[in-house]
Structures are given as C-alpha cells and as structure tokens.
Amino acid sequence: MLRVLSLFLVLMLYGASLAEVRVAGELGDVVLPAPPQRVVALEFSFVDALATLGVSPVGVADDGDAARVIDPIRAKLDEWTSLGSRSQPSLEVIASLNPDLIIADVERHAAVYEDLQRIAPTLILKSRGETYEDNLNAVMKVAQAFGQEEAMAERIAQHNAIMDAYAAQVNSNATVQFAVSSEKGVWLHGPRAYAGGVIARLGLNSPIPEETEQAYIQITLERLVQANPDYFLVGEYGDQTAVDTYKQNPLWSVITAVKNDHYVETDPRLWSLNRGMISAEIMAGELVEMLGTSTAAQ
C-alpha cells in the first residue's frame, strides 16, 4: 500500500513538473505552473508579441492612451485596463488585475522588479533601446511562457519571408534616417535602435556609423547637416516640435533629403513605440513605397 502511494505521489510530482513552464529572463528565470491566463504588459513591444500569439493582455502600460497602440495591433486584442505610464506603471492597478504573468522591460522596470515579483511572476525582457534582433529573441521568450514556441517560430519564418520580399524590391545605396521630434529636441534612431534595424534589414544604409553604441542620439541642426541623410523620416510628438524650429533655419535646406524632397513625416507610434514584427512589416512597406520598387542605386 505504501509503495503504491509513493508511486502515486511520484507520478503527481512528475506530472506537475511536465506542466511547469520555465523562461529565462534578463534578471532571472520565471517559473510558471502552467501557461498564464491573465497577463499584463509594461511595454508596447510586448503587446505586439502577445497580439501575434492571439493573447489579449488584461492590462497595458499604455501611457494612459490606448490609441498609442497602432490600429493593426489593437484590432487583434480585447479591451484592456490602462496601467498608466510605461516609465512608472501603477503597481496598485497591476495588483488589482490579479495577473499570473507580468512582462516588463529591463531598462525601465529593473528598479521595481522585486515589487512586481511580489504581485506575480515577472518576466523581464529587453524592450526600450532594443535592437531588431533583440526583439525577435524577446518574442520567442514571450511565446515560451505560453507554450507556443512552435507557433512563434513559424510566425518568425513568415516574417523573414515578408522582409526578404520587401528587401528584394529595394535597389538603392541611399542613406535613410528616422528620428523623433518633441518640443525638447530631436533624437536620431541609430543602427542599434529598432527602426535602424528595420532599415538595415532591407539592405539600406544609415548615415550614423555602425559602431555607435547609443540607440537614440539627440542632435543639433548642425549635426544633422553633417549626417546629411538622403531620406529623412521624422515622427513628431506634438503640433510644434524642435524640427519645426529647424525648418526656419537656412541650414535646413542644405540637407540632401530636404533638397530632394525626401523629407517624410511619419507616425512615431509605428516607427518608435510599437516595436515588433507587425510594426516592422508595415514600416518595411512604407520604406519600399517611399523609395520606389525600382529605385536606381544612388
């Protein structure tokens, strides 16, 4: 009788270990007894990953505005509770949602990691300042938490095929630069930024040296003239920003992109906030349309 009971307990424990999910995060492993049912996301890139998996988060740090998530992603999800800003999400609201998984950003949320862990298992991944490759690694970690590695691997393969098709339409050695502008200044997104990675994925060049460590580089108009991109895409946060001031300066007209009418105003939500495969594919389509499918090498 004791032997049968012991065998039963071993089988129970073994079965529990088979159901257990372990994911390696940036600040330590997360162990889940089963795929989570209620997840909160503290960065937009994680929302893109969840939408790809068909998982609707119950809470999102959306800076108090659900519209900051682009329509193609939001259309895949149910409504969520706002957790406030990405930089300082409300721990009280997170706790009230009774999540069984929190997905957080190593740069923004390392300081509150222990507080988050007291609420629920917390998976810390790269988001802010991540590279294009970092994001693909992170989405696989998200998929692992839900036991959907195979489905995500298939989606990444599909994504690569889509990006390869776009890259094949580009025939240009032009330099392409994306930047965001607010009333506080203008920041170039360098080769290590997500947008820079999407640009490079299509075989396009950056006017910023590849070895530049900073993802986001605040610049003056004089430094922008030195960079002198052939195509200049800017996402403005606000009606009047620093780039509008640049436009009043005679130096603005010296920039090659401006002279050739290749200055393009674009959506900062798409190009800066919503980093992920869904966003990247839309960005790639915009780049191909901007350059033309038969752009001659410059």
What mean pLDDT comes out for the span 74-95? 96
Q: Is the pLDDT of residue 20 over 90?
A: no
pLDDT at 18: 52
Q: Is the pLDDT of residue 5 over 80?
A: no
Separation CA 283–CA 270 (nearest Å): 7
* In the chain, % of residues over pLDDT 70: 92
Q: Is the pLDDT of residue 65 over 50?
A: yes
The rounded mean pLDDT for the chain is 90
Question: What is the tens place of the pLDDT at every residue in 205-215?
Answer: 999 988 788 88
pLDDT at 200: 94
* In the chain, % of residues over pLDDT 90: 80
Residue by residue, DSSP assigns 147-169 as T-HHHHHHHHHHHHHHHHHHHHT
Separation CA 7–CA 25 (nearest Å): 34
Q: Which residues contact 234 (CB under 8 A, 6 or more apart)?
A: 178, 179, 180, 181, 186, 243, 263, 264, 265, 266
250: left (phi over 0), alpha (psi -120 to 50) or beta: alpha
Q: Is the pLDDT of residue 19 over 90?
A: no
Separation CA 18–CA 122 (nearest Å): 21
Per CATH, the number for 11-152 is: 3.40.50.1980
pLDDT band at 173 (very low <50, low <70, confident <90, very high): confident
pLDDT at 296: 39
* 163-291 shares the fold of 11-152: yes
pLDDT band at 17 (very low <50, low <70, confident <90, very high): very low
* Domain boundary assignment for the chain: 11-152, 163-291
Q: Is the pLDDT of residue 14 over 50?
A: no
The larger pLDDT score, comparing residue 16 to residue 59, is at 59
pLDDT at 6: 44
State the Rg of the chain over Cα: 22
pLDDT at 10: 39
Selected from 3.20.20.30, 3.60.15.10, 3.40.50.460, 3.40.50.1980, the CATH number assigned to the domain covering 163-291 reads 3.40.50.1980
